[in-house]
Amino acid sequence: MNEPAVIQAVEAARAGDQSAYEALFRAHRDAIYSLALHFARDPELAADLTQETFVRAWERLPGLRDPAAFAGWLRSMSVNLVRDHFRAAREADPIDEGTPLADDAAGPEQALEESERDAVVRRAILDLPEHQRVVVVMHYLEGRPVMEIAGALNLPKGTVVSRLSRGRKNLRRGLAPYIDDVGKS
């Protein structure tokens, strides 16, 4: 869905047009599900969080100031819902404390090393400013191309490229102590 179509659909949905909101849902549900699945790591929970994101967005749509920002607004809402879910369940917040499951084929020492490395990388990603973190996650973890990210976030391609570049630079800086240790071994 291009930016003019998103703006038109958001404005129509604000006026109560449910079919316009359904079009927004169809255009953005896969991206929101993917984001929720990345953090929740549970397909059923990700589906529930995706549904809740769109329900909450419908309720809060009148408060959205810039219709062109719908995709980014929706992503932020989804991330906040993931956080809320894990806080309410008193579980570790996968966005703050996430550690992926180790490969079952790996031995205990290798699994521990991989788990520690993953935790360090995740912490470095979480330390990025939000605007960099979103594009880094979408590009490197979800495998989305720059133009798709630009469309989803309603940003110019150059802005996405710039944020990726700054994000990589900040990741290198944050991971330098660990990379230097590896090089000295």
Sign of the Cα torsion 77, 33, 61, 162 reads positive
Under DSSP, the state recorded for 68 is: G
The topology (CATH level 3) of 1-98 is Rna Polymerase Sigma Factor; Chain: A (1.10.1740)
Whole-model pTM over 0.85: no
- Fold match flag (1-98 vs 102-185): no
Sign of the Cα torsion 4, 30, 158, 57 reads positive
Tens-digit pLDDT profile for residues 50-89: 999 999 999 999 998 889 889 888 988 888 888 788 777 6
Under DSSP, the state recorded for 151 is: H
d(C-alpha 177, C-alpha 107), whole Å: 25
- Domain ranges in the chain? 1-98, 102-185
Q: Angle 64-68-73 (CA atoms, 0-180°, nearest 5)? A: 50
Q: Does domain 102-185 have CATH number 3.40.50.1260?
A: no
Instruction: Give 27's pLDDT tier (boundaries 50, 70, 90).
Output: very high
